[in-house]
Amino acid sequence: MNKAQLVEEIADKLGGRQQAADAVDAVLDAIVRAVVSGDRVSVTGFGSFEKVDRPARYARNPQTGERVRVKKTSVPRFRAGQGFKDLVSGTKKLPKGGEIAVKKAPKGSLTGAKATVKKAAAKKATAKKTAAKKATTAKKAAVKKTTAAKKVTAKKTTAKKATAAKKATAAKKTTAKKTTAKKTVAKKAPAKTAPARKTTARKTTAKKTAAKKK
């Protein structure tokens, strides 16, 4: 039986699958936190969970037979209660009707356990809220960065376009000036050639006059 099957098994008794899942999560979380902090969790008729310290020691590698030093560590340990052992061994039979096999806790003894479960559930809810807030903050920061990057890109693009437009306008003006200068030079050129023609005509007339005189 896995966790999902365990939840399905107790769902009808707790009024729904979600309630059963929350109950299982809360119980397991409370047990793990208590054992990690060094407390012993004992359930009458079922068993106890505790933290056991193992000192540093030497062990042998089963494959090579080499002697290996093992560091000091801590491990969780579960010890089954006598009622649990009797049911598993067959000394006692499981009661019919789906009743709880282990002994019921006496009245007033569950006050501390309920408080622990409530605290665990509250811590879990707080952790979820904190994670949600962090995710929202991260999304907002990402949106701000993206918007700022887009604005900077838009400004750069606008500046590039303006610079290109200025260069194009300057090039057009330069080309227009060169064209105007060429036209001016072309217009002035015929005026310079006119005196040359007159001088040639005078020379020709002088030659003709000299020939007549001879």
Q: What is the mean pLDDT of the chain?
A: 77
What pLDDT score was predicted for residue 202?
A: 72
Predicted local confidence at residue 185, as pLDDT: 60
Encode pLDDT of 163-207 as tens digits. 777 777 777 777 767 766 666 666 665 544 445 566 666 767 767
pLDDT in the model for residue 5? 92
**How many Å apart are CA 209 and CA 205, to the nearest integer?**
6
* Pick from 15, 30, 36, 38: nearest CA to 113: 30
pLDDT for the residue 113: 47
pLDDT tens track for 11-43? 988 889 999 999 999 999 999 999 999 999 999
Three-state secondary-structure class, residue 58: strand
pLDDT (tens digit per residue) in 144-154? 777 677 777 67
Tokens at 53, concatenated: 């310290």
CATH classification for the domain delimited by 3-144, as one of 3.40.50.1820, 3.40.50.620, 4.10.520.10, 2.60.40.10 = 4.10.520.10
- Candidates 39, 49, 6; CA nearest to 24 is 6
Cα–Cα distance, 102 to 84 (Å, whole number):
7
pTM score? 0.46
Q: Order of strands, edge to edge, in the sheet holding 41-43?
A: 41-43, 47-54, 73-80
Question: Does 84 or 126 have the greater pLDDT score?
Answer: 84
Percent of the chain with pLDDT over 70: 65
Which residues, in sequence order, are CB contacts of 164 under 8 Å at separation 6+?
none
* Strands, E assignment, 100-169: none
